[in-house]
Structure 1
Amino acid sequence: MSITAAINTAISGMAAQSYAIGNISGNIANAHTPGFKRIDTSFADLVSNQGPKRTLAGPVLAEARFTTSVQGPLTATGVGTNMAINGSGFFTVMQRESGSAQSVYTRRGDFAVDKQGYLVNGTGGYLLGNNLDPVSGRVTSSGLIKIANTTLPGRQTTRIDYAANLPKVPTTTASVGGDSSPYTVASAVVIDPTLTAPDLTKKVVGAAQVPAFLDKSLMGPSLTMYMAGGSPASLSTRWAKVQDAAATATPPKNAIWNLFYASSSTAAKDSDWVNVGSAFSFDSAGKLVPPAHATVSSSGAVSLKIPQVAVDGVSVGDITMNLGSSGLTQNAASAGTVTTNALAQDGYASGSLKSLSVSGDGTIVGSFSNEMTASVATAGVVNFMNPNGLRPTSGGNYEQSRDSGAPLAGLNGGTIVGGNIEGSNSDVAGQFSKLVATQQAYSANVKVMTTANQMMADLLNAVR
């Protein structure tokens, strides 16, 4: 009887709208829950086929429609260890408090360092990933990310990046007094640019020669470099022109300069000045003619080794000086002095961890008290072929299911935004619109049921 079917259908409609309002209630309640993904309601009709012209509109079935793949808004928090995924992907976490060692997946990224050094989010999810050696960048362990008492050891200087212009006519103390001749003390200078190795044999300006050397040389750059273990030392340098250009000579001669460094970090007047052992030759256009023992890359970048560097009696070892493709020139300079255009070295003192930040690929970067940064860990991030097929659990976590497929490592086009968290994708205004529509649909189903009951009562009264 259709009246009975109407009552049953109305009951199914009331049940379906009750299920929908339950989802709406949860969505509104979690409108400010980080990483929350709303659950919408999908309705499916059930039709009883009673013949071509006797088909009866039947009950309705309500099912959950997950929005796990729908992005939520990102909100800046100012907390360096907070992280939000912009795009697809899930953080891999472990709920240690539950006693389970099983990995679960979440979009909730309000991670902070707990008292034991672990990264934990607001629902007790411990972030999994790789812990890194801050010096080498190699993986030291995989599993729970732990950051505690991290120290970056000091690094010995092995490279100096340098760019400068040497004046064609240097203004030295001697030249001001009328002596513009090059510095030509045979025991201290290197004239031959064709040497296949640096010449260090007795190429030192001794204490007795220092006054004359200072008069005929120009001050070069000074920089702080670092010994083994990270202890600092000051390196002072001077440039001396040791040969003038002579285009009419046979064969023609290029201008040649030598670079010296002080054996003492104080560069006292009684310090020895050590020749680096290379003849820096310049053609008529002021371009460097690389020494024979220099290394020249395919792009024209010049680098050469300064061997056996020692300051204050402590050996620093070999240092590579990178000059780039045009880092060292000899051009006219009105002041007649050395102009330093770039100066950097790769050593540093030891430092303790000050703060953490997260890069776009999920690398957790530490900032240290020595002004250096280093990667200390990488966050474990995975993707799923069907993220809406994940099985939701409490705490904003999801479990792998048959529908979701196996986890695939990586971001797959997404990025991680440090100092942010992803908010709920539940829009309160939209949920209120659904709330009104659901209430009206529920009331209409109640009206259908009461009307059908009244019709049934009328039928029973007619029988009596």
Structure 2
Amino acid sequence: MDATTEDIDDLITAIAGGTAAVSANLSADGRIRIISDNLLDTLTIGGTAATEVGFAPGANVFQPTNLLTQGISDGDTLTLRVGSGAVQTITFGTGAGEIPTLTALQSDAVNGLPKYTGVISTVNTGTGAVTITASSPADTLEVGGTAASLFGFYTTTALPANGTVIANDLTAFLDQSIGGGAITAYDVSGSPVNIQLRWAKVAGATYGGTDTWNLFYQVNSTATGTTPAWRNVGVNYAFGANGQMDPLIAQVTLNNVTINGIALGNLQLVHGSGGITQFSDPNGTAQVNRLSQNGFPAGSLETVAVSEKGRVVGTYTNGRTIDLAEITLANFNGANALKRLDGGAFEATDESGPAILGAPGKIVGASLEGSNTDIADEFTKLIVTQQAYSANTRIVTTANEMVQDLLNMIR
């Protein structure tokens, strides 16, 4: 029986609609495409008409991507080693326990790779992207094997969360991270030390995980070879769909920080409850709104003043002020009975009584105290002193005259 293309198309539509396990369509050039709905299944076409429409009897119309025809050879391996653990191997091939297709690798990743201790993996059969990460950010992950380069891997040791970036890897690190600004710290002598920061994304929602970033700071700006150039602070900054950190990391302590050979000791990064957020940026950059620190450079004493609280305050050339001493206020029950000493000082006597510390009052700096002298009493004393001086002067004059008379008599 002859059939038109429309008839065949209708038949294919009926087949596709009535068979849950397959999908069928007719292409513009008259080719029939029948595909298994389950990527893990194969579909075999047979019958006397199979060769007439381009199928060979028993041919597999849909077959998952065969890794053995994509450059990977039977027996090639992908090796994984987490931390100091044993090497774990994935073998490609058609034998028992071996992986022949990308879809089989996906199934192994979803259902089987947990048997590979310490790793998390995903396989995208559409793009061919294979992602393998260490379960713990504190572990290293070594990826190798004869098939590694065919997947885009190269034999390397991934950075642990508390690890360093050596100078040899500096170019790759800078290409795969974004600037996070800089902050100035000060060493024990007050000399400024510049701390450079960078952010690197280590996981993302695109690959089925959580958007996670790590913060790095520069430890050696002139590092070469295998010398560490940057260090990871060792904390995962994970963000939810709303752009907020989840869980919240309010502060991070950096222990024994050394920048370009200058020891700074322990530093604390205080983020607060909303200090770090994640929002989409088409340029892939980090916007630093504010960086602040509570250190200060060295300074020398510039001025000294006295506050109302009786504290001697020193002001330094770096803008800092420090309380150098405190003047204690005291009172006496018999203040007028104090013994006067040189230099404007007074001494307690039995009549004045002991000092009463913490007496109410205040100190006014850079001011002269108004006189509390009794002017009338002082003038009376002045007159008495002047009269005594005059009387003494007359005595001296009389004595002088008597001496003169005595000398004249001797002559």
Same fold (TM over 0.5): no
| Richer in strand (by share) | 1
Q: Specify which structure has the bigger relative contact order, considering alpha-carbon pairs within 8 angstroms and separated by 6 or more residues.
A: 1
- TM-score, length basis structure 1: 0.39
- TM-score, length basis structure 2: 0.44
**Bigger radius of gyration, 1 or 2?**
2
